[in-house]
Amino acid sequence: MGSTTLVFGGAGQLGQCLQHVAKERNLSGLVFLPEAQANILNTETLQAVFAEYRPAYVINCAAYTAVDKAEDEVDLARKVNCDGAENLARLCGEFGPTLLHISTDFVFAGTGNQPLQETDETAPISVYGLTKLEGEQVIPGHTERYFILRTSWLYSEYANNFVKTMLRFGKERDEMRVIWDQLGTPTYAIDLAGVLLHIIETGSTAYGLYHYSNEGVTSWYDFAVAIFELGGLPTRTVPIRTAEYPTKATRPAFSVMDKTKVKTTLGVTIPHWRESLVVCMGRL
């Protein structure tokens, strides 16, 4: 087994952030595999890729993340989020690398008001959340060497995300109506990428399930207000309830995650969401 890290879904938001951070830290040995080259549903191709690279680590950034569309495309969402994760886990069990897998706050119902711990009961309320939970659950059956990181409200200067959407709308519109009764924590994908690479750099064997987002709590409305403010946009932001903006999939109303485990076990320091937003806006 070499010192190679294979990144599946390398062309997506988190994949691009991993490329950025790896370059910043002068890390070599990361191989970014776009879907066209290594589709996680194609077991033959995967087998060949594992045999060729003999990786020490595998990072799975590939996922079906179209939350509303998933309600109609159940089979496809399940194939990517569950079967794809299982395919990688099986090969990790066979070839021996450590699997780093990304999951989501959507595995929770979001009906509570206390920060969510890794041990809290899961109860997804959307197809996306359900298929991501199924993906988490199939991994331990194939390998013991895994880290699953649940994250939330991912954004960065790469790909499509809430921050970039708000900036675009903010330039086009005088007023934005944004939901205020869903609470969570934005996560700068560059920070998440940093944690994934920290696990690899430190050679941690504290395998298991972790929660990672930035620090603090906010609503989508307050997040939007901060984006317009930092972007110097005069857009008026109007708070609305979830009920006023019906979507196909139901979102968790409260998905603030407790990060005690990731901080104490892996020794990471986590910036406040606004601090990271300032960094991202500076780069945009």
128 is catalytic: yes
The dihedral through the CA atoms of 144, 198, 32, 68 has a sign that is: positive
Which residues, including other chains, have CB under 8 Å from residue 107's CB and lie 6 or more apart? 122, 124, 129, 132, 133, 136, 150
Q: From start to end of the chain, where are the E strands?
A: 5-8, 30-33, 57-60, 98-104, 146-151, 154-155, 175-179, 183-184, 187-188, 208-211, 218-219, 236-240
Cβ-Cβ contacts under 8 Å for 224 (sequence gap 6 or more): 162, 166, 176, 178, 237
Question: How much is the CA Rg of the chain, to the nearest whole Å?
Answer: 19
8-state DSSP, 101: E
Please, which residues have CB within 8 angstroms of residue 94's CB and are 6 or more apart in sequence? 50
Tell me, what DSSP letter sits at residue 139? Answer: G
| Other Cβ atoms within 10 Å of 116 Cβ, number | 23
In angstroms, rounded to a whole number, what is the distance separating the alpha carbons of residues 32 and 11?
7
Output helix, strand, coil percentages for the chain, rounded to the nearest 5.
45, 20, 40
Nearest to 212 by CA among 225, 227, 224, 197: 197
One-letter amino acid at 36 equals: A
**Which one of the listed residues 128, 158, 210, 212 is annotated catalytic?**
128
Amino acid at 141: G
Residues forming the active site? 128
